[in-house]
Chain A
Amino acid sequence: MKEKIRGFIAETTFTDPEIILDNTMIFEDGIFDSMGLLGLINYLESEYGVVTEDVELQEENFGSVERIAAFVDRKIHQMN
């Protein structure tokens, strides 16, 4: 899952995926902006069926590839 998320971020931001490590802070480091966040929310919904609630829009859930993957994992478990 991390690789797919990394691939999405790299593809939409024209960034070399090797630069985006699991713990790279994608917003703090300027890789992603607010358009990127909106695109990511769309992507998580279409790819994993994960609907992001307003209160879940936290750096803890979206700050890095590993945090996004953990968030998606948790949401999928909740759905099942």
Chain B
Amino acid sequence: MRKNIRVIKALIRLRFQNLMTFRIGFFGPFLVDGSLFVVQLMIFSAVYANVERIGSWGHGQMILYIGTFSLINAVNMVVYFFGISSIPWKVKSGEMDLYLTKPVSPLLRLSFERVNPGSIPLVLMSLVIIAYGVHKTGMEIGAGTVLSYLFWVGLMTLLYYDMEVMMRCVSFFLVSSAKMEQLEEACLELCMQLPGTVFYGVYKLIFCCVLPYGIMATVPVKSLVGECTPGTALHALIVTCVFTGITCALWKGGIRRYNSASS
């Protein structure tokens, strides 16, 4: 454990040195994702100017939803996105060799070697959106609620990580994982705009169980507004555990199958 923390620190230090070399793109991810979530806010402001509620959720809850999705996405962008997204290329080019021969977990190194401090403002922006959402709903928030919300955000960030790794593990088994990434992008785009509360029937099965992007921001928001039932909590816990297990198995299976360059 102590060794892993030392490795993570070293990776972050190296990344900072690298980013200082290419300063122009430093805040790029923040500006791109920031604009995306501002657009979401504008869209739902327009929708709520015409309707009072979407299902059981008012404008405040929807702002909380957008803020929470933005927060999970921001943590993803700051910590592991750029590292994980390079997996398919590293498999294809044989660069994964360099990770397998080092005395540290390859996945740990991949997850932390390309942290992006330029996305930290995105975390702050998400917190502002969440604060605005809380103000809009007019709720009184206690310490217990905040802790429970943070617990769910943490757990859903893990689920987000699992999904990201899983989608890229496909590159160990197929020539190209581009279509899986396209599928991931399409699901994220959809679930970024739609809370899990609007899914029903087969759509609920797909987006809450098979490709569980639909629960990622919904569960934390439900816990914050006091709508999280034991059933919802249990479902979220089971889904996260199952997907973490599948991700571990896929990663291990993929590494075993990896044949160096042109795998």
The answer to whether A and B assemble together is no
Residues of B near any A CB (own CB < 8 A): none
